[in-house]
Amino acid sequence: MKKSASLFFNRELSWIEFNARVLAEASRKENPLLERLKFLSIVSSNFDEFFMVRVAGLKHQAQVNPNETDSFGLTAKEQLSLISEQVHKIFFEQHAMVKEQFFPLLEKKGIIYVPPENFSDAERNFAGNFFQEQLFSLLTPIKALTPVEGTGGNELPYIANLRLYAAFLLTPIVDKKDIHPAFCPAADEKPLALVQVPASLDRIVRLPSERKELRFTLLDDIILAFGTRLFEGYSVEQSLVFKAVCDAAFAVDEDRHEDFMEAMEEILAARRASVPIRLTCTNGSPDITKILIEKTGLSEEDIYTAGKIIDLAFLSRLADKLSDMHGFSKLRYPVWKHFYPKELVRGEAVWDVLKQRDVLLHVPYESYDPVLRFISDAADDPGVLAIKMTLYRTSGESPVIKMLERAARNGKQVTVLVELKARFDEKRNISWAQQLMHYGVIVVHGIVNLKVHAKMLLVVRRENEGIIRYVHMATGNYNEKTARLYSDMSLFTSNREIANDASAFFNMLSGYSAIQTMRRLYMAPINLKSRLLHMIEREKLHSTPETPGLIMAKMNSLADSDIIKALYEANRAGVRILLNVRGICTLVPGIRRQSENIKVISIVDRFLEHTRLFYFQNGGAEEVYLSSADWMSRNLDRRVELMFPVTQDDLFQELKDILLLYFSDNTHAHELNTDGTWTLKKPRPGEDAVRAQEALYNRYKQRADAAHKEIPRLFTVRRKEPRV
Active site residues: 453
Instruction: Give exposure, 173-184, as e/b (b: 16+ Cβ within 10 Å).
Output: beeeeeeeeeee
Closest C-alpha to 566, from 623, 636, 619: 636
Whole-angstrom Cα distance, residue 309 to residue 488? 35
Closest C-alpha to 243, from 284, 296, 294, 205: 296
Specify whether the CB–CB gap between 554 and 580 falls below 8 A: yes
Whole-angstrom Cα distance, residue 78 to residue 80? 5
Go through the chain and tell me how many residues it has: 724
Cα atoms in the 13 Å half-sphere on the side-chain side of 126: 16
> Can the peptide bond before residue 364 be classed as cis, meaning omega within 30 degrees of 0?
yes
Q: How many separate helices (H) and strands (E) can be counted in the chain?
A: 20, 27
Residues 6+ apart with CB under 8 A from 549: 539, 540, 542, 543, 570, 573, 574, 575, 576, 617, 619
Specify whether the CB–CB gap between 486 and 363 falls below 8 A: yes
Single-letter code of the amino acid located at 492 = F
Whole-angstrom Cα distance, residue 634 to residue 54? 13
Residues 6+ apart with CB under 8 A from 69: 75
Residues 6+ apart with CB under 8 A from 59: 76, 80, 247, 277
Largest Cα–Cα distance of the chain, in whole Å? 103
Whole-angstrom Cα distance, residue 522 to residue 528? 5
